[in-house]
Amino acid sequence: MEEIPEIKVEEYYYAKKVMHLVKEFLLKQERLNLVAGTNSSPIATRAAETLVKFGYVTFENIQTLTEVKNDRRSIKLIITLKKTSDFQKIYDQNKEEIKKKEQEREQREKEKTKNGK
């Protein structure tokens, strides 16, 4: 069985950051595991659900894992995501939209400074 690369989601991450990491990672991979502890599980879940909603990925597997170390339990959520056949198309469209919005913002800033003088 092939080993699936993983991104460890930290509790101080934002869902947007996780989404960005997943998309950049999946440019070169077909699937990955989001691994989250108790406090970061809501962040990983929100990011994964949003990526599924936008059509970047599908859920391949969701599991929980309980590890006992020194009589203490550690619970992990592992979400396996697989990129869709439309991943690259959606990714490119989104990048183009971001570029367009940045250009519009720069144009507004230029107009502000031009009109302010």
Query: What does the DSSP 8-state code read for residue 55?
Result: T
Question: What does the block give as tokens for 80?
Answer: 């396996």
Question: Could you state, in order of their start, the residue ranges of all structural domains in the chain?
Answer: 1-84, 87-117
**What's the pLDDT score for residue 113?**
81
Cα–Cα dist 92/21, whole Å: 16
Secondary structure letter of residue 29 according to DSSP:
-
Closest by Cα among 63, 61, 64, 65 to 81: 61
- Which neighbouring-strand residues pair with 72? 69
Model confidence pLDDT, tens digit, residues 19-62: 999 999 999 999 999 999 999 999 999 999 999 999 999 999 99
Give the per-residue pLDDT at 114.
76
Q: Provide the CATH number for the domain formed by 1-84 in this structure.
A: 3.30.110.20
pTM of the model: 0.84
Whole-angstrom distance, CA of residue 107 vs CA of residue 39: 41
